[in-house]
Structure 1
Amino acid sequence: MFPERCLKAQCSVVFHPECPSDSRLVILPPPPGECCGRPGTCHCDQQKCEAFVPICEQGMERVLVKEGGHQPGSCCDVFECRKRELRCESVQCPSHVFDEDEGVDCPADSVRPAEHVPNGLCCPVRPGCRCRAAVCRPAVCDEGKKLRIIRKGTGTPGRCCDEWTCDDDPQPLSKSCIRDGKTYSDGEEWHTSSCEVCRCKKGVAVCSKMTCPKTPPQCSWIVIPDGECCPVCVGCQTEKLEKKRKNETWQKDDCTMCTCSEDGTPICEKHMCRTECENPRKVEGQCCPVCDEPLLLTMPVACPSIEHCPLRCEAGLQRDERGCFQCECVPTNRPEQCPALSTQNCDKQCAHGYAKDAAGCVVCKCAKCPPLHQCMKHCLYGFESNSVGCPVCKCRGERTLPLLTCLPFILPRSFTC
């Protein structure tokens, strides 16, 4: 019967070993003061060895090849049926098989192996009795009892096992535990260190180490708090070896802001700057450079209007000494001496004009680009070109500016009138 305190005990699953065919499983009861059982063990069973003894045919004899031991899996003697050797044919074996125990029956704690012909002999023998390894019951007493050995076993047939009994213990063992000069009652727990906890169990102090959870692998600031056992991630460590707590924010540089995440990883964001001038200046402590001059300036009002200029200049209009546009085309740098085309040296008639060679002279080859006779736009910087290089009726501007004239409106600083 289990004690009443064991009726609600929570025991782990116990897995018993699978014993070889020459042994059997022996399951011991729980030790005194405990409720949960332990895994069983395999013990040799000589009775099972009888099934491994071969029955030899006529003309064959049973020969002992290897004696058995006390280890499960090799408990039994190993026999083989061999053909009788010729030298034994003339041997007359006695009708009475040699008996090591002279016919005495084996005690209850032992067993007799099968008769056999020993290796190197001709006549069979009958072995003596051997102890059964698994017949001895475990020497365990209930709680409050004391084990007493009546007679010590010798391991020989008739005295294979110890004879013992359980007597009432007049002085039962104390259930309290004494550790480092302190007394702890049964079931009480205490800490011997920040990482070790002990529990008094029926007078025995059972101690175990605490198991710590793993810290995040990416955490860069890990400490063990005072009085605690396990390391914890408390924050981040910057590139300058500065310590930052979780959710703390810091300025990495003028343009980068970082925050320490919950798993100890710095998460940084970099500010992107947009520059509106040609020569921005870096200011200490600020992320984005500043422009010393304003981006847009007011054009002077002294330049005359060229709104009614009739010229259509492929390279744009010229400027005067003040920078104002004039109604004059920019020269195209044509060569001064080029052979003229005539009906004598060119027989082609080209609707869009003639092509030019590397020197800029007209050659007897039709141009692919049509002239801009129908374009009525005034372009300060000339016309843009299409994908094949021909000018199109669209003004070309520095930094792609809209149509500009010297009027009182806003222009970039690089332009003057």
Structure 2
Amino acid sequence: PPGTPTPSSAHCWHRGAPREPGARWTEPGCRSCTCQGGRVLCETVSCPVPCSHPLPPPAGGCCPSCAGCLYEGVSRAEGDVFSPFDENCTVCVCLSGNVSCISPECPPGSCPSPSPTDCCSCQPAKCSFRGRMYAHGARFSLDGDDCTTCICRGGEVECSFAPCPLLDCPQHQRHLGPGQCCVTCRDPPAPTGCSVDDNGVAFPVGQIWSPGDPCELCICQADGSVSCQRTDCVETCPYPIRTPGQCCPDCSAG
């Protein structure tokens, strides 16, 4: 009949209030609703967030906003430049909901006493130590002590002590030389003779003797060792004469 509304132009009743055909509104709980053909259709609002530090939704809104930044619990306006709470030397900027930070690089170098607001720590190029100047990074020993190594770092001298090695020589051969902090092994003294047996018989270096057999001769060498050599006799006579204490027989009598 004339005047009958078509489905596409039918109004909607929702929560006791009329809604125009095609009308859209947001319900509590971030639900988006629309009036279509006399029916109310609702769906949960989808919020794609293309930034890393979005602002929370405004009052009555559903989706976070990239028109500013929320960083460490503080809202920042677009383009705001700031420093984190515990890093005064770091500078951050809010751009399109993203926070980018940068910290200064501080190369070593000489400088006067810095103010508390300076970001870069002062690293003098040289160290003054016991009346001498050392360049930054220089290593040196302490008073000629090979066991103590020092380094100049940031205007301060740091020293470390190297452990002494374990020694395998007897106590009477250990020696502490001038300028040394570690005991070293002294070379054993050169021998002055040769000890032949357990009875204490000894011969000086270069001494020649017979150990009991007249055909064997021994000599005491410079290193304390004994070198012996045996004489072989060739009997060429039919009636050799043997003399006590003599190695080879006497053939002079024919």
In the superposition, the TM-score normalised over structure 1's length comes to 0.23
Larger Rg: 1
Q: Which has the higher strand share?
A: 2
